[in-house]
């Protein structure tokens, strides 16, 4: 009936679902039948589910939403492909980031709150499989509701923990547990002749965290290994040999298995049943002793409070009942944990690698010991919360001593405390107890608790916790500050109480016990010398850092808790550690750089940074040069490091750095504008000196770009003067020009070799603002000096004409004496205003290369252009070809002595630069005269280009001319028609080849710059300049062309060309050829 009435079936379902009175057992049976036997049944059900979801979200109807989920899960159970392959697939497709839900439905916070409320309500009834899907395929959330999603994920994970289920998927999929994964892996290993299942290998690569923390944790549970290795042992050894199990983890597993074997052997060899601990009785005694200890501590607390009320002397030691319970607990622990573990671990105080307790993979069976430690920690919190006053300064030390003989319990305790202090959000009572517990561990020291191997150093566990406390957002800062306050106040109270009553920190009833340490650590501790060594310096440092932040934000109270000031009442006690805890400028910078600005509690971090800088003890308002230098160089060093690690850093971390960089440079700019920069008489301006004195090893494109990124935020006049109101002298201007000529021209140029716009703007704006208003002669001398001394700036000024004109528009060319600056003013205005026809007719003011540059930049090619202008257009077009060669857009190669080229993008094919150059060359061979770099070397525009662009233009010129000679037959080659043209060709080839070889063969400078640039741009391109195959082909091609030209025409070239090529690496190859040709020297 269902199959025959398809449309009616869906209508009936819709009506029933809307009424709300549903027999779900019958309805789900009908749905299963429908999707199995009705063609396109799955598609129909998907439409029904989409309709239900839309109605549910529109009306916020829980019943319809529940119906949609029930129907979807039923369809997924029937595996109705392709619409319902699995619940994970359906949920991710319907509510994931790429779904329509992400772009439409979740746009409103109210709708998302309704959806999360529904998922929250059904958590107690959800199977673990579905909860894992909701955690790992979390629905897309609007930015304002991310906290709701986090709360739900936390709740779902807690529910899975209550069910003893892992939050992640098994390797086999959402419906499988880790035990089933192991069972499947072992079965596959046994039935496939020792082959490891592919799903296990994939999991070790793509689900590494689950593989190490779930799969291996279960697989490597310590056991007694049989004499003849079973399948599991062979499988473990196979994984170890493949590198899937680390050597250290495998060694710990083997050691733990040996411990299990010894325990088992001791039990077998013993004829007395008393030697096998009765664990059931031990656990019951352990629970009873914990309860008795809690009641005894409360009783002592009430006794002490009563004595206070009656003005009696307060009891200053623990009661006998408390001491007895400590002894009972110690005996119970020995019975439960086992004597073998004691003998193996007692006296072992070597440092514990932090990975041992962070990952949770320990030497032995951690599940049972984890329960023991959980009980001890829970009772500790209950006891600490139920009493107060000086009593809480006495009993915790004795409590923590219970862990002394058991190394593995200490490691489990470390693991739990790491979660408490770093990962979890703790209530106030638990936070206070955690601080007291951690302090007791630190107080007892390495004689009881081992140090932690963190990186390449051994530190105490409290120091490790302090180092790891994160400070990236407001929530983490609040938790860290609260914890630091609780820990430091407890440490202060504990020390002061100890100095008045040191005997109360020993346990007389335990002196005869070999299980507990009885000596008071303070009897040998340097704390008697009034040093508070139980407070880690890292914790005090973070406290001071956060205190300054909260004080600036006027947060005298944090959620009802007054801010603690350790040095207010006992400055003598805190002075030594607070002096050690002061942050250096560099450390403070790094800490601030890790803060996520969008999750910070500060409204204006820029103002806070400025306040922090100006209120430091070393701040000198009369001269901030030293402070400004420290900020500038620290920022630059961090910027270079961040740039190197950018590819490996996560996006959020890099965004935090970008935000800090912006805030810090703004603060530096405000600082410089507010306070004076004072230098020695006759010294260079502060910023120019800093740029010139950068470490020589950092003179790379990345280094200067990072420095420029900081500099452009600062006032532009800083490069020329320490004061906005003083004009620079000519010496300073020439120093700036020299900096551009020797370094910045090569490191801060665009792809064509011109100085980039930001540098040109900064240089000229700074110069313009320092010129005293109305002083025309001063402006003329200063601007002419920098343009005369800096060809790269003269060339770039014409490339960026619009920007340059805006900067210097207050100066009129007619008001200036004749010179470089007045010429630039006149030509920029003329080129900007004149039409193409006017430029083509003559260039009385502008030079031909200037007009040619404008024609090339703005694509104003025309047959009416004058020949000298066309020559320079040809020059810039060859320059463009060199840039395309360097970037890989066009590539050349030699094949059987002939040269060919290839276009690597579609755009360049449509705008064929090779064809354009050949046409220009056919029209006028003399256009190549501008490529004679021996003549042009010291003249503009060639000398204004970066070294890389100069060299790449030479490469492009040689390869193009070789290509032209290969394409043309001997009779049609115009260069062979006359001795003059043949000589011109040879001059250009020899001069460009000489430049190519000189730049390409040493490799050092160019190669270094290229590698830095390529790594920054994520490119793996071999520069033609250092391409060995291209160099070899060029040498052979050049020899062939010279022989052909010499055989047809009499070549006359100046001696400098022959001398240059003979002195190059090509001299060994071409020296004899040139001599045999008998070239005439003119």
Same domain flag for 297 and 254: no
Assess if residue 1064 is contained within a domain: yes
User: Rounded to whole angstroms, what are the CA distances from 461 to 415, 445, 458?
Assistant: 11, 9, 9
Q: How far apart are CA 927 and CA 321, in angstroms?
A: 107
CB 713 within 8 A of CB 763: no
Q: Is the residue at 668 inside a domain?
A: no
Instruction: Write the CB contacts of 721 (distance below 8 Å, at least 6 apart in sequence).
Output: 685, 727, 728, 732, 770
DSSP string, 489-511: HHHHHHHHHHHH-GGGGS-GGGT
219 plus 306 within the same structural domain: no
Q: What is the mean pLDDT of residues 113-139?
A: 87
Strands, E, within 426-489: which ranges? Answer: 452-454, 457-459
Give the chain's length. 1082
Query: C-alpha angle with apex 418: 416 to 420, nearest 5 degrees?
Result: 70
308 and 242 part of one domain: no
Beta bridge pairs of residue 1080: 1052
Choose one of 497, 518, 544: the last residue of a domain.
544
Using a pLDDT cut of 90, give the percent of the chain over it: 12
Looking at mean pLDDT, say which of 162-176, 495-509, 540-554, 896-910 comes out highest.
540-554
> What is the rounded CA–CA span in Å between residue 1038 and residue 199?
59
Instruction: Look at residue 177 and tell me whether its pLDDT is greater than 80.
Output: no
For residue 592, pLDDT over 90 is answered with no
Instruction: For residue 937, give Cα distances in angstroms to 187, 784, 792, 1068.
Output: 77, 22, 13, 25
Q: Shortest CA distance to 993 belongs to which of 1081, 905, 1065?
A: 1065
Provide the 10 A C-beta neighbour count for residue 150: 12
In this structure, the answer to whether residues 155 and 182 fall within a common structural domain is no
User: 232-237: which pairs have CB atoms within 8 A and are 24 or more residues apart?
Assistant: 232/186, 234/189, 234/194, 235/185, 235/186, 235/189, 235/196
Same domain for 419 and 487, yes or no, is yes
pLDDT for position 957: 93
Q: Which segment, 34-38, 518-522, 1012-1016, is predicted with the most confidence on average? A: 34-38
- Domain-embedded: residue 237: yes
pLDDT band of residue 464 (cuts 50, 70, 90) is: very high
In a domain, 470, yes or no: yes
**Domain range for 122:** 6-162
DSSP sequence for 388-422? -GGGGGTHHHHHHGGGTT-HHHHHHHHHHHHIIII
The better pLDDT of the pair 884, 641 is held by 884
Query: In which band, very low, low, confident or very high, does the pLDDT at 952 lie, cut at 50, 70 and 90?
Result: very high
> How large is the average pLDDT for residues 1004-1033?
55
Output the pLDDT for position 790. 93
Residue 112 burial (CB count, 10 A): 23
Whether residue 635 is contained in a domain is answered as no
Do 997 and 943 fall into the same domain?
Answer: yes
Give the pLDDT mean for 100-117.
73
Domain termination site, one of 544, 561, 580: 544
* Any domain includes 169: no
Residue that is last in its domain, among 127, 162, 197: 162
What integer is the mean pLDDT of 937-946? Answer: 91
Measuring CA to CA, which residue among 438, 437, 432, 439 is closest to residue 483?
A: 432
Relative to beta strand 457-459, strand 452-454 is: antiparallel
Q: Which two tokens stand for residue 140?
A: 């897309």
Residue 405: its pLDDT value, please? 82
Ordered DSSP codes for 577-638 = HHHHHPPPHHHHHHHHHTS-GGG-S-S-HHHHHHHHHHTSTT--TT--HHHHHHHHHHHHHH
Is residue 485 located within the same domain as residue 511? yes
- Residues with Cβ within 8 Å of residue 1056, at least 6 apart in sequence: 934
> How much is the pLDDT for 724?
79
Tell me: do 401 and 325 sit in the same domain.
yes
Domain-embedded: residue 934: yes
Cα(955)–Cα(992) distance, integer angstroms: 7
Rounded Cα distance, 1010 and 1003, in Å: 10
Structural domain count, the chain: 5
Residue 670 falls inside a structural domain: no
Q: Are 1026 and 999 in contact (CB under 8 A)?
A: no
pTM, to two decimals:
0.60
Question: In this structure, what DSSP letter does residue 516 have?
Answer: S
Together in a domain, 1023 and 963: yes
Q: 349-397 pLDDT, tens per residue?
A: 678 887 776 655 454 455 777 888 888 998 898 888 888 888 888 889 8
pLDDT tens, 971-992?
778 888 888 888 899 889 988 9
| 511 pLDDT higher than 70 | no
For residue 138, name the pLDDT band (cuts at 50, 70, 90): confident
For residue 879, pLDDT over 90 is answered with yes
Name the more confident of 616 and 479: 479
Give strand pairing partners of 453.
353, 458
Q: What is the rounded distance in angstroms from the CA atom of residue 633 to the CA atom of residue 49?
A: 61
Find, among 917, 911, 984, the residue nearest to 956 by Cα. 917
Q: Same domain for 121 and 245?
A: no
Q: Based on the fold, state whether residues 751 and 821 are members of the same structural domain.
A: yes
Residue 182's CB: how many other CB atoms inside 10 A?
Answer: 20
The mean-pLDDT minimum among 229-243, 658-672, 915-929, 1063-1077 falls in 1063-1077
Partners of 457 in the β-ladder: 454
pLDDT of residue 697: 47
Backbone angle region of 530, left / alpha / beta, with phi > 0 → left and psi within -120 to 50 → alpha: left
d(CA 1065, CA 560): 80
**Do 795 and 753 share a structural domain?**
yes
pLDDT tens-digit series, residues 50-88: 888 888 888 888 888 999 999 999 888 887 878 888 888
């Amino acid at each position: 009936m269902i199959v025959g009435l398809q449309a009616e079936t869906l209508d009936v379902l819709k009506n029933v679902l809307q009424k709300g009175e549903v027999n779900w057992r019958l309805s789900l049976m009908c749905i299963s039948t429908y999707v199995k036997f009705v063609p396109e049944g799955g598609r129909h059900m998907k439409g029904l589910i989409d309709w239900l979801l839309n109605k549910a979200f529109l009306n916020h109807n829980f019943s319809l939403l529940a119906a949609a989920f029930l129907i979807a899960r039923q369809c997924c159970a029937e595996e109705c492909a392709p619409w319902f392959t699995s619940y994970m697939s359906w949920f991710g497709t319907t509510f994931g980031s790429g779904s329509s839900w992400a772009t439409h439905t979740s746009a409103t916070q109210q709708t998302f709150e309704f959806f999360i409320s529904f998922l929250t309500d059904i958590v107690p009834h959800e199977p673990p499989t579905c909860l894992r899907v909701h955690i790992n395929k979390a629905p897309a959330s609007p930015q304002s509701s991310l906290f709701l999603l986090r709360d739900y994920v936390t709740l779902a994970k807690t529910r899975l923990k209550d069910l003893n289920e892992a939050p992640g998927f098994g390797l086999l999929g959402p419906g499988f547990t880790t035990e089933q994964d192991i069972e499947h892996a072992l079965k596959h290993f046994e039935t496939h002749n020792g082959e490891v299942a592919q799903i296990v290998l994939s999991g070790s690569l793509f689900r590494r965290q689950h593989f190490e923390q779930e799969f291996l944790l279960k697989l490597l549970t310590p056991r007694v290994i049989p004499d003849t290795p079973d399948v599991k042992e062979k499988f473990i050894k196979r994984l170890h040999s493949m590198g899937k199990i680390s050597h250290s983890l495998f060694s710990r597993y083997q050691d733990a298995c040996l411990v299990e074997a010894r325990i088992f052997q001791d039990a077998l060899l013993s004829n007395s049943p008393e030697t096998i601990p009765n664990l059931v009785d031990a656990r019951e005694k352990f629970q009873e002793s914990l309860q008795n200890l809690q009641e005894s501590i409360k009783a002592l607390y009430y006794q002490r409070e009563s004595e206070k009320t009656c003005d009696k002397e307060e009891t200053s030691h623990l009661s006998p009942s408390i001491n007895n319970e400590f002894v009972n607990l110690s005996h119970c622990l020995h019975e439960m944990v086992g004597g073998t573990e004691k003998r193996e671990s007692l006296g072992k105080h070597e440092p514990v690698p932090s990975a041992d307790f962070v990952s949770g993979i320990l030497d032995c069976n951690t599940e049972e010991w984890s329960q023991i430690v959980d009980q001890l920690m829970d009772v500790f919190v209950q006891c600490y919360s139920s009493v107060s006053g000086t009593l809480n300064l006495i009993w915790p030390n004795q409590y923590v001593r219970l862990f002394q003989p058991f190394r593995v319990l200490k490691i489990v305790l470390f693991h739990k405390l790491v979660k408490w202090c770093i990962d979890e959000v703790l209530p106030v009572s638990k936070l206070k107890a955690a601080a007291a517990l951690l302090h007791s561990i630190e107080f007892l020291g390495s004689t009881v608790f081992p140090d932690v191997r963190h990186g390449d150093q051994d530190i105490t566990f409290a120091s490790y916790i302090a180092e790891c406390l994160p400070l990236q957002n407001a929530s983490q800062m609040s938790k860290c500050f609260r914890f630091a306050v609780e820990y430091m106040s407890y440490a202060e109270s504990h020390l002061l109480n100890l100095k008045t009553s040191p005997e109360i920190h020993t346990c007389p009833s335990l002196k005869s016990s070999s299980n507990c340490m009885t000596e008071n650590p303070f009897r040998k501790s340097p704390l008697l010398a009034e040093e508070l060594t139980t407070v880690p310096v890292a914790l005090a440092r973070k406290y001071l850092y956060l205190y300054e932040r909260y004080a600036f934000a006027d947060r005298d109270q944090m959620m009802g808790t007054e801010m603690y000031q350790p040095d207010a009442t006992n400055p003598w006690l805190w002075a030594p550690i607070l002096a050690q805890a002061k942050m250096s400028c560099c450390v403070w910078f790094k800490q601030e750089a890790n803060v996520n600005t969008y999750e910070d509690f500060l409204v204006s971090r820029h103002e806070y940074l400025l306040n922090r800088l100006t209120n430091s003890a070393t701040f000198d308002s009369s001269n901030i040069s030293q402070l400004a230098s420290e900020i500038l160089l620290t920022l630059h060093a961090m910027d270079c490091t961040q740039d190197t690690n950018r590819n490996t850093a996560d996006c959020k971390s890099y965004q935090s750095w970008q935000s800090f960089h912006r805030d810090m440079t703004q603060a530096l700019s405000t600082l410089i504008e507010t306070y004076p920069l004072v230098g020695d008489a006759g010294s260079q301006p502060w910023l120019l000196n800093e740029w010139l004195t950068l470490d020589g090893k950092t003179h790379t494109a990345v280094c200067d770009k990072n420095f420029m990124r900081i500099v452009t935020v600062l006032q532009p006049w800083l490069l020329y003067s320490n004061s906005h109101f003083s004009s620079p002298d000519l010496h300073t201007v020439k120093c700036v020009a020299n900096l551009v000529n020797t370094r910045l021209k090569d490191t801060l140029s665009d792809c064509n070799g011109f100085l980039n716009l930001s540098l040109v703007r900064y240089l000229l704006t700074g110069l313009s603002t320092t010129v005293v208003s109305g002083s025309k002669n001063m402006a003329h001398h200063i601007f002419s000096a920098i343009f005369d001394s800096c060809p790269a700036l003269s060339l770039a000024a014409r490339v960026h004409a619009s920007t340059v004109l805006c900067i210097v528009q207050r100066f009129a060319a007619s008001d200036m004496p004749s010179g470089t600056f007045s010429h630039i003013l006149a030509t920029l205005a003329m080129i900007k205003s004149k039409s193409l026809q006017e430029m083509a007719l003559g260039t009385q003011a502008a030079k031909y290369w200037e007009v040619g540059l404008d024609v090339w930049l703005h694509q104003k090619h025309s047959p009416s252009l004058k020949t000298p202008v066309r020559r320079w257009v040809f020059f810039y077009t060859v320059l463009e070809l060199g840039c395309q060669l360097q970037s890989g857009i066009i590539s050349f190669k030699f094949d059987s002595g002939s040269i060919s080229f290839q276009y690597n993008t579609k755009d360049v094919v449509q705008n064929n630069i090779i064809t354009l150059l050949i046409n220009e060359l056919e029209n006028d061979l003399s256009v190549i005269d501008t490529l004679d770099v021996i003549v042009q070397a010291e003249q503009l525009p060639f000398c204004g280009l970066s070294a890389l662009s100069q060299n790449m233009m030479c490469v492009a010129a040689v390869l193009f001319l070789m290509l032209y000679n290969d394409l043309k037959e001997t009779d049609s080659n115009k260069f062979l028609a006359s001795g003059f043209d043949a000589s011109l060709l040879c001059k250009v080839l020899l001069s460009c080849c000489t430049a190519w070889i000189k730049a390409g063969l040493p490799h050092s400078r160019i190669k270094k710059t290229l590698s830095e640039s390529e790594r920054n741009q994520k490119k793996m391109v071999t520069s033609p300049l250092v391409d060995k195959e291209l160099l070899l082909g060029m040498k052979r091609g050049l020899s062939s062309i010279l022989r052909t030209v010499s055989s047809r025409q009499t070549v006359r070239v100046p001696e400098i060309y022959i001398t240059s090529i003979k002195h190059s690496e090509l001299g060994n190859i071409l020296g004899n050829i040139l001599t045999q040709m008998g070239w005439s020297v003119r």
